[in-house]
Amino acid sequence: MSFMGNLQQLGRAFMLPMIVLPAAAVFLSLSQLPWDYIGLPDMSQHLRAASDVIFLYLPYIFAVGIALGMTGNALSAGLASLVGMFIYSGITSSANPDIETTVLIGAIIGIASGMSHERFKDLRLPEYIQFFGGPRFVPLFMSVMSLLFAIGMINFAPQLEHLLIALGKLTEESGGFGVFLFGFIQRILVIFGLHHLVSHVFWFQIGGYETAAGNIVYGDLPRFFAGDPTAGSYMAGLYPTMMFALPAIAFAIIHEAREDLKPKIRKTFLYAALASFLTGVTEPVEFAFLFVAPYLYIVHAILSGIIMWVTYELGILHGFSFSAGAIDYLLNQHLATRGWLILPIGIVVSVLYYTLFRWAIRRFRIPTPGREEGSQLDEWAGDIPYRAPLILQAIGGKQNIVQMESCITRLRLKLANERVLDINALRSLGAAGVIQLGGGHVQVVFGTYSELIRAEMLKAIQRDQEQVLFHSPMQGRMIPLEEVPDPIFSGKLVGQGVAFLPDRGELVSPVKGTIMHIYPTMHALGIRTPEGLEVLLHIGIDTSGLAGKGYFEAMVGEGDEVTPGMLLVRFNLQRIRKESKSLATPMVITNPDMVQSWRYAPFKAVKKGQSSVMSVVLKERNSGGERK
């Protein structure tokens, strides 16, 4: 496993336990309401206790969450981390009641449990004690390791606590530049999905604060919710970026889109802007320009750091439980210091970002979505059940998946063979970006639909239906069969399928199969797949009369075996365009009675041989071998 792959997995694991923190923030905010007026005088106390207990047991939550996140929710790893925390806290508290069980300790035990599971999950012991082998060995191993770790920490823990407090003082002494550096690095690490690692250090480790109950909490985030009047400097500056800067970018992209594409782009990016403003989920907007203008992303990262520096210098302190969106802003405003200043700062930031990005997109002709050859960012929640099997094909099928998890905005994959990944197909299917970290570790950014996509992909894997997957037979644009200017094809009298408008004069095989027939003029041919599907490829409309070597040249013969992407026919694109009714090239299944269901990718530009443009599920066979 590569170093970057390890960091990616660890970053995803750190995100899992943070899911519970919004509940603590909501409980704390609700505890401020006047419950006495509705006859519930104890409700404020109950809500405050519910919030406090989440932060009290935060080290345990992080230990279990990290262990589960690193192992794909392996229960033995989660149990091992929990047992490890009990052993650690029991030994250290009995030896020295002043030793606090911190989130850092929870993270260490969680990481150790996850690594132990990956190391010992396939452990084979002698047959008479094999019951304790494999995953069952992990809790036993971590019990011993936690015992030794706790004994070692009895003397070291006080020094560690002093170190964390000293680091907090050091970061405070670094002033605004330290806050700027944090903001800049965090935005850069968003690209690789590793921003949780650097955020975790500042939000949950550095700086200590003793609560009224005598407990010491560490990190900017727990200190903020515990009432530390100095906490919040590493969170406040993120609010203007997420609530105002990213939505401004979204509006700039909308206004610079072509007029014919503006309705679709407006819908997509209004949703992305709203997600960033309300919840602080920024990747759908950031990835819209990251790959087409990385230098502009660097400018964005620098500006994000400067914004944090400004909020620091103005003495603004604010915090969040999930991310710096409007929901968290309103929920936690009662704990903030000068939090109201975030709003006027945000307005200035939005004007700056909107002006800068509109100018840059137009000046440097950046192909953002909605412009020529723009990057893809689709809004397609209703199509997820249909596109998930195509996404599965684009990543190489279920046999290529070693591990698949999802976080808020991206699928995190470990692939057996990274080379079979079809990035063009994934972009066509709605991915805002594909990040390859090496060692088979890949992130596919689908925005907030990532978890739904993962669930549908798992359903497709579990169903294991017999299906045939189609690649694009040419470079150009895929169109619905109904748009072909020929009533025979558009009426689906020949068969059902899709069509393509070619940009180049090459036809390649969309499937594995055998050439059944090649027409004398070589403008059309038929392929039979191993499953028995008969696929007709017909280059252009009214092209059967274009005879001669100057039009079509077949590169295969009848009876030849073909595979996806293999060249079938070369044709003279310009001559055929002039002398035919249309270049529309139908790809139809002429025996559609074999098909149970059809799935199509979005009708847009495709590359030659691109996977996942269409798939069909075949009808089940009866006992006699015939299709039902």
Q: Three-state SS across 515-527?
A: EEEECCCCCEEEE
The residues of the chain that CATH labels 2.70.70.10 are 470-618
Give the max Cα distance, the chain.
94
Mean pLDDT within 377-394: 73
Mean pLDDT within 326-341: 94
- How many whole angstroms separate alpha carbon 539 and alpha carbon 543? 7
- How many whole angstroms separate alpha carbon 441 and alpha carbon 497? 34
Q: What is the pLDDT of residue 597?
A: 86
CATH of segment(s) 383-464: 3.30.1360.60
Q: How many separate helices (H) and strands (E) can be counted in the chain?
A: 22, 20
626 confidence band (pLDDT: 50, 70, 90)? low
- How many whole angstroms separate alpha carbon 416 and alpha carbon 509? 25
Phi, psi (rounded to 5 degrees) for 590 = -85, -5
CATH of segment(s) 470-618: 2.70.70.10
Q: What is the pLDDT of residue 562?
A: 95
Question: CA torsion 211→217→222→228, rounded to 10°?
Answer: 40
- The first and second tokens of residue 327, run together, are 């929901």
Mean pLDDT within 131-144: 90
- How many whole angstroms separate alpha carbon 242 and alpha carbon 246? 6
Pairing of strands 567-571, 513-518: unpaired
Q: Which residues contact 622 (CB under 8 A, 6 or more apart)?
A: 628
Q: What is the pLDDT of residue 464?
A: 66
175 alpha-carbon distance from chain centroid: 34
- The first and second tokens of residue 335, run together, are 């704990």
Question: Tokens 């055929």 label which residue?
Answer: 576
- pTM, 2 dp: 0.71
Q: What is the pLDDT of residue 1?
A: 45
Q: Is the pLDDT of residue 440 over 80?
A: yes
Residue 144 among the catalytic residues: no
Quick one: residue 559, left, alpha or beta (phi over 0 = left, psi -120 to 50 = alpha)? left
Instruction: Give percent of the chain above pLDDT 70.
Output: 94
| End-to-end CA separation in angstroms for the chain | 46
Average pLDDT, the chain: 86
Q: What is the pLDDT of residues 508-559, one digit of tens each?
A: 999 999 999 999 999 999 999 999 999 999 999 999 888 776 789 999 999 9
Query: Which uninterrupted H or E stretch holds 365?
Result: none
Q: Please count the CA atoms within 13 angstroms of the CA of 463 that sit on its side-chain side.
A: 15
Residue of 457 and 330 predicted with greater confidence: 330
Distances (CA, A) of 372 to 12, 292, 479, 603: 35, 12, 18, 16
Q: Do the Cβ atoms of 499 and 586 come closer than 8 Å?
A: yes
- How many whole angstroms separate alpha carbon 237 and alpha carbon 243? 11
157 confidence band (pLDDT: 50, 70, 90)? confident
Nearest residue to 77 (alpha-carbon basis) of 108, 105, 116: 116
209 alpha-carbon distance from chain centroid: 35
Amino acid (one-letter) located at 455:
A
Q: What is the pLDDT of residue 623?
A: 47
Q: In this structure, which long-range contacts are made by residues 332-337, counting pairs with CB atoms below 8 Å and at least 24 apart in sequence?
A: 332/25, 332/29, 332/224, 332/225, 334/29, 334/32, 335/28, 335/224, 335/225, 335/227, 335/232, 336/232, 336/236, 337/229, 337/232
Question: Tokens 């200190």 label which residue?
Answer: 223
Q: Is the pLDDT of residue 79 over 50?
A: yes
Nearest residue to 530 (alpha-carbon basis) of 562, 577, 571: 562
326 confidence band (pLDDT: 50, 70, 90)? very high
As beta bridge partners, residue 209 has 217
Phi, psi (rounded to 5 degrees) for 181 = -65, -40
**Sign of torsion, CA 330 336 340 346?**
negative
Q: What is the pLDDT of residues 262-311, one digit of tens each?
A: 887 888 788 889 989 998 888 778 887 887 788 899 999 999 999 999 99
Q: What is the pLDDT of residues 420-433, one digit of tens each?
A: 898 888 888 878 77
Nearest residue to 198 (alpha-carbon basis) of 218, 208, 183: 183
Instruction: Give percent of the chain above pLDDT 90.
Output: 44
Q: What is the pLDDT of residue 7?
A: 63
Phi, psi (rounded to 5 degrees) for 308 = -65, -40
Angle between helices 246-255 and 283-290 (to 10 degrees): 50
Mean pLDDT within 71-91: 91
Q: In b/e form, how buried is each residue of 67-105, taking b as 16+ CB within 10 angstroms?
A: bbbbbbebebbbbbbbbbbebbbebbeeeeeebbbbbbb
Distances (CA, A) of 205 to 160, 171, 408, 448: 11, 12, 23, 28
Q: What is the pLDDT of residues 188-217, one digit of tens each?
A: 888 777 777 778 888 888 888 888 877 788
Question: CA torsion 132→135→141→143, rounded to 10°?
Answer: -100
132 confidence band (pLDDT: 50, 70, 90)? confident
User: Which member of 407, 432, 499, 508 is catalytic?
Assistant: 407
73 confidence band (pLDDT: 50, 70, 90)? confident
**pLDDT-wise least confident of 124-133, 140-149, 412-421, 576-585:** 124-133
Q: Do the Cβ atoms of 478 and 603 come closer than 8 Å?
A: yes
- How many whole angstroms separate alpha carbon 118 and alpha carbon 393? 27
- How many whole angstroms separate alpha carbon 502 and alpha carbon 497? 16
622 confidence band (pLDDT: 50, 70, 90)? low
Residue of 235 and 433 predicted with greater confidence: 235
The residues of the chain that CATH labels 3.30.1360.60 are 383-464
Query: What are the start-end ranges of the H helices in 413-528?
Result: 423-428, 450-463, 487-490
